[in-house]
Every structure is written in structure tokens, then in C-alpha cells.
């Protein structure tokens, strides 16, 4: 098993990618310590992936609050004795628009969550990662930070995730001597709750079947279907695991071949 006996902190656990990452951690032998602003989401995920309750712990956590980040890291150490990896799913991805209609106050909020919040949570876990002799930090970015989609405008989200990917390079150098690896998964169109909602709303607005909207998206891929949130979770779990022990400072596109670099 990829994560046998390892403890992984997962931020942003909801119905989609965060749930899938936590599920894969437990499936692959690890302990999953779950954080999200909404405690009910944590309870549901923990019950679904670990009915006996021996392999999960959770705490309502807002990553814009440094004390709450430290509390989640402390819970991991208290419950399981260490932290071996952190997977950052928490993000503000619901603000849309470009430059002309930008509300820069909202942009600052997006940056505070997606960039600084992720770094806060990482810093809170550093003492435990160092004490464990190293480990892994996995950021979840977006393909939009390297190639803007034509279907939607999410300039603030793309900019914040692009900044996070840039920070990854510096952190990989800074933390490498402690054997802490830092990598990023870049999802493209990822079939899960957000994209399901996009397809539903677009189909309703255009008066066409949802299959038609989904087919348009899939036609852009080298593979004949969209990647799923479970596919992205598999990539994140691999990067969190010891099998990726020589990989750091890298960005991995998980996008069914829509963009190749």
C-alpha cells in the first residue's frame, strides 16, 4: 500500500476532490486527518471512508486563520503521532470574471485563501514533517494557471493558483534539505461536483441535453473523456507517498491530454 502507516493532513474536504483524496489515503493504508470550514462535511466523509473511526480524525478548519491551521496539525500529531504528508485541496474557486469587471477586494480574499492559506497550513505542519524526517507537501493548482479556458473566466483563481505554483519552486529548494518534497497537481476539467454543476447550468441555459455540453468538453481531450476528481486524487496520493521520494518542484497536469507541456 502506498501510504501504509503514514499520516496525511487533507485540507478542504467536501463532497468532491477532498473526499476522494481522503478516501484514497485510507484505502492505501494511511491515516487521514481532515480539515474544512464545514464540520458536517468532515463528519460525512469520515463516516463514509472509515466507519470504525480508527484511521481518521477531523477538525473544522479555516485556513485563513493561523491558529486553526496549527490546531489541525496538532490534532494529527496528538492522534497519530506524526505528519508525513499534507495535501491542500481547500480553495476559493467560485469567483468568476476577468480584469474589466474585477473586484480587487474579492481578489485579495481569493489570494488569502488559495495562496496564503495554503502556505499557512503548510507552515503549521512543518515542525511535524521535520520531526518525521521528511515528507511531502502536495498543492492542488489548476490548468487555468498555465492556459486560460475559453468557456469560463476565473482570472483571480488562476492568478492565485499560479502564484502558488511559483511558490512551490522556492519551497522545494527551502525544504529539500529537510527531505520535504513539494509538488503540485494541476487538474483540468475534472468531472466532479463543480463541473457537474457547470454542465447542468450550461445545458439549461442553452436548452440542450447535458450530454451535448459534456461532449463538447470531452472533444478537447486527447483521451475520450474528462479526468475525474478520483483521477486527480490518485495523482495527489502518489506524490504524497514514498514512491515519489525523488520528485520535488514539479507540476503534474491531470487533464486527459487537453493541454500537453
pLDDT tens digits for 54-68?
A: 999 999 999 999 999
User: Please, what is the end-to-end C-alpha distance for the chain in angstroms?
Assistant: 30
pLDDT for 150 equals 66
Q: Please, which pLDDT band fits residue 148 given cuts at 50, 70 and 90?
A: confident
**Other CB atoms closer than 10 Å to residue 53's CB: what's the count?**
9
Q: How far apart are CA 34 and CA 15, in angstroms?
A: 13
Q: Do 21 and 47 contact (CB within 8 A), yes or no? A: no
Specify whether the CB–CB gap between 183 and 138 falls below 8 A: yes
- Cα gap 126→122, rounded to integer Å: 6
Query: Distance (Å, rounded) from C-alpha 85 to C-alpha 209?
Result: 42
Give 101: exposed, middle or buried? Use CB within 10 Å, 0-12, 13-18, 19+: exposed
The tens digit of pLDDT for each residue in 5-48 reads 999 999 999 989 999 999 999 999 999 999 999 999 999 999 99
List the one residue out of 56, 152, 24, 47 whose CA is nearest residue 98.
Answer: 152
What does pLDDT average to over the chain? 94
Residues 97-113 have pLDDT tens digits of: 889 988 999 999 999 99
**pLDDT at site 98:** 87
pLDDT number for residue 110: 95
Contacts of residue 173, defined as CB under 8 A and 6 or more positions apart, other chains included, come to: 249
Amino acid at each position: 500500500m502506498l501510504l501504509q502507516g503514514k499520516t496525511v493532513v487533507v485540507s478542504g474536504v467536501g463532497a468532491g476532490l477532498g473526499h476522494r483524496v481522503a478516501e484514497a489515503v485510507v484505502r492505501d493504508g494511511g491515516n487521514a486527518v481532515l480539515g474544512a470550514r464545514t464540520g458536517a462535511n468532515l463528519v460525512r466523509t469520515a463516516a463514509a471512508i472509515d466507519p470504525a473511526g480508527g484511521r481518521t480524525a477531523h477538525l473544522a478548519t479555516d485556513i485563513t486563520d493561523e491558529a486553526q491551521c496549527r490546531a489541525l496539525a496538532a490534532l494529527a500529531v496528538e492522534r497519530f503521532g506524526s505528519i508525513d504528508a499534507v495535501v491542500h485541496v481547500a480553495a476559493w474557486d467560485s469567483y468568476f470574471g476577468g480584469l474589466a469587471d474585477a473586484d480587487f477586494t474579492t481578489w485579495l480574499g481569493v489570494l488569502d485563501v488559495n495562496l496564503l492559506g495554503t502556505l499557512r497550513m503548510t507552515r503549521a505542519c512543518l515542525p511535524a514533517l521535520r520531526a518525521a524526517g521528511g515528507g511531502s507537501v502536495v498543492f492542488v493548482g489548476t490548468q487555468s494557471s498555465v492556459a486560460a479556458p475559453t468557456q469560463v473566466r476565473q482570472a483571480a483563481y488562476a492568478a492565485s493558483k499560479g502564484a502558488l505554483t511559483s511558490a512551490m519552486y522556492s519551497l522545494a529548494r527551502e525544504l529539500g534539505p529537510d527531505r520535504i518534497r513539494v509538488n503540485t497537481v494541476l487538474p483540468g476539467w475534472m468531472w466532479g461536483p463543480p463541473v457537474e454543476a457547470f454542465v447542468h447550468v450550461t445545458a439549461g441555459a442553452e436548452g440542450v441535453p447535458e450530454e451535448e455540453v459534456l461532449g463538447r468538453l470531452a472533444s478537447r481531450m486527447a483521451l475520450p473523456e474528462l479526468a475525474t476528481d478520483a483521477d486527480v486524487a490518485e495523482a495527489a496520493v502518489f506524490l504524497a507517498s514514498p514512491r515519489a521520494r525523488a520528485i520535488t518542484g514539479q507540476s503534474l497536469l491531470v487533464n486527459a491530454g487537453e493541454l500537453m507541456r
